[in-house]
C-alpha cells in the first residue's frame, strides 16, 4: 500500500472517530433551579447536540403557565380574578388530567385546595401557622366541581376560589421536557424535577434507569437521606408523595402539608409515602398526592382497579415499624440482583 493511500486511510479513520465522538454524546445538567425546586436531566443525543437552551426556554414557557411563584403566570392571574387571561395548552392539559383524577378519587385530589393549604401554613402564600384556620369558613369555596374551563377561560362559582397545580405540575413538566427530548431525536434520557421522574430507553451504562425511593424519615432538612429501595424503570413516569419533609409540630402534634380537600384538615394516618408509576409523570404525580389523602387501604384498592398504574406504599404498623405494600404490577420495577 502506498504512503498516499495509508495517509488517506488514516485521515478517513480520524474523521470517522471524531464523528462517532460527536454522535450519541451524553449530556447531564444537574441541580438546575426551576419552579422553586431543582432539576436533573441526563440524555444521549444521536447528533451530539446540546439542548440546554431549548430546555431552559421550555421551562420558561411552562413557568409562565402554571407557576404560582410567578405573579404574571396564567394560574396566578386566574387566582387574582383577572377576567382577561386565557389558558394555554399547558394549563388545559393539566386541567384535563386534574379533573380526571379528581373524579376517580372522589375529590381526594383537587386543585382548588389552595386556600386550605395556605390557611394551614403551607402553599405559595404567606406561611403562617400561629393559629388554626376556621376550616368551615373556607370549605364552601373548595371543590373541583366549582370551576369550569370554557373557551380558554376558567369560570369560578366564587371569586375566593384559588388554584394550586403544584401537586401535578412538576410531573407534567417532566413530561414536557421528555417530549422536547423526543422531538430532538433523543431515545435515551432521564428527566427529574423536584423528585418526580420520567425515563426513556437506557442509562449511559446501557441499563434501565435506576431510581431510588427514599425511606420516610421526619427530616425537613433532608439530612437523613436513606433509600428504601431502588427501582429500574424505562418508558414510564414515577412520582413520590410523602409527609416526612414538609410539616410542622404544634402543641406536640404533627401537621403535614397534605391537606384533605374533603375534611379541610391535614391528613393524619399511617401512610408515610406513596410512589406511583404511570404512563405519564403528570398522572403519577396526581395519584401519588391523592393516595396520601386516601390512606393505605383505599389507595391500594383504587390503584389495583387501574391497568396502567402501579403503586408502592410505605406505612407504619401498630408497633410503629415501617412496612410496605404494593400492587402486583409494581414488582417488575424492583432492581434485579446481578449474578
- Cα–Cα distance between 148 and 140 in angstroms, integer? 16
pTM attached to this predicted model:
0.87
- Cα–Cα distance between 171 and 128 in angstroms, integer? 27
What pLDDT, in 10s, does the model give residues 115-174? 998 888 776 555 555 667 899 999 999 999 999 999 999 999 999 999 999 999 999 999
pLDDT mean over 217-244 = 82
Tell me: pLDDT of 19 over 60.
no
pLDDT at 226: 86
Where is mean pLDDT largest: 86-95, 120-129, 316-325? 86-95
Tell me: pLDDT of 245 over 70.
no
Which structural domains are found in the chain, ordered by start? 25-333 (3.10.520.10)
pLDDT at 222: 54
pLDDT at 127: 54
User: Is pLDDT larger for residue 80 or for residue 25?
Assistant: 80
Q: 339 pLDDT band (50/70/90 cuts)?
A: very low
Strands 247-250 and 253-256: antiparallel
pLDDT at 304: 97
pLDDT mean over 5-20 = 34
- Cα–Cα distance between 321 and 272 in angstroms, integer? 11
Where is mean pLDDT largest: 32-36, 256-260, 273-277? 273-277
Tell me: pLDDT of 249 over 60.
no
Lowest-pLDDT range of 53-62, 183-192, 241-250:
241-250
Computed over every residue of the chain, the mean pLDDT equals: 86
What long-range pairs does 202-211 form, CB within 8 A, spacing at least 24?
A: 202/234, 203/42, 204/26, 204/42, 204/44, 207/232, 208/232, 208/233, 208/234, 209/233, 209/234, 210/335, 211/238
Q: 256 pLDDT band (50/70/90 cuts)?
A: low
pLDDT at 337: 65
Amino acid at each position: 500500500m502506498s504512503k498516499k493511500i495509508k495517509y488517506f486511510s488514516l485521515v478517513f479513520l480520524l474523521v470517522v472517530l471524531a464523528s462517532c465522538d460527536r454522535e450519541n454524546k451524553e449530556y447531564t445538567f444537574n441541580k438546575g433551579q426551576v419552579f422553586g425546586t431543582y432539576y436533573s436531566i441526563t440524555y444521549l443525543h444521536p447528533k451530539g447536540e446540546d439542548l440546554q437552551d431549548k430546555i431552559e426556554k421550555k421551562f420558561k414557557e411552562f413557568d409562565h403557565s402554571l407557576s404560582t411563584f410567578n405573579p404574571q403566570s396564567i394560574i396566578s392571574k386566574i387566582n387574582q380574578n383577572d377576567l382577561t387571561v386565557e389558558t394555554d395548552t399547558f394549563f388545559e392539559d393539566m386541567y384535563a388530567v386534574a379533573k380526571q383524577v379528581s373524579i376517580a378519587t372522589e375529590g381526594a385530589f383537587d386543585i382548588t385546595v389552595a386556600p386550605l393549604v395556605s390557611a394551614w401554613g403551607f402553599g405559595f402564600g404567606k406561611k403562617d401557622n400561629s393559629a388554626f384556620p376556621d376550616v368551615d369558613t373556607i370549605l364552601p369555596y373548595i371543590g373541583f366541581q366549582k370551576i369550569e374551563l370554557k373557551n380558554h377561560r376558567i369560570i369560578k362559582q366564587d371569586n375566593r376560589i384559588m388554584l394550586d397545580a403544584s401537586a401535578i405540575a412538576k410531573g407534567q413538566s417532566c413530561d414536557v421536557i421528555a417530549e422536547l427530548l423526543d422531538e430532538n431525536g433523543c431515545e435515551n434520557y432521564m428527566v427529574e424535577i423536584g423528585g418526580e421522574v420520567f425515563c426513556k430507553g437506557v442509562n449511559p451504562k446501557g441499563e434501565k434507569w435506576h431510581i431510588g425511593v427514599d425511606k420516610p424519615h421526619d427530616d425537613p432538612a433532608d439530612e437523613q437521606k436513606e433509600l428504601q429501595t431502588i427501582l429500574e424503570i424505562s418508558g414510564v413516569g414515577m412520582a413520590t408523595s410523602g409527609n416526612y419533609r414538609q410539616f410542622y409540630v404544634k402543641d406536640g402534634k404533627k401537621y403535614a402539608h397534605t391537606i384533605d380537600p374533603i375534611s379541610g384538615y391535614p391528613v393524619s394516618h399511617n401512610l408515610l409515602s406513596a410512589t406511583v408509576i404511570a404512563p405519564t409523570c403528570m398522572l403519577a404525580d396526581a395519584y401519588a398526592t391523592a393516595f396520601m389523602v386516601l390512606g393505605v387501604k383505599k389507595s391500594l384498592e383504587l390503584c389495583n382497579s387501574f391497568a396502567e398504574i402501579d403503586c408502592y406504599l410505605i406505612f407504619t404498623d401498630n408497633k410503629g415499624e415501617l412496612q410496605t405494600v404494593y400492587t402486583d404490577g409494581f414488582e417488575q420495577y424492583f432492581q434485579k440482583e446481578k449474578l
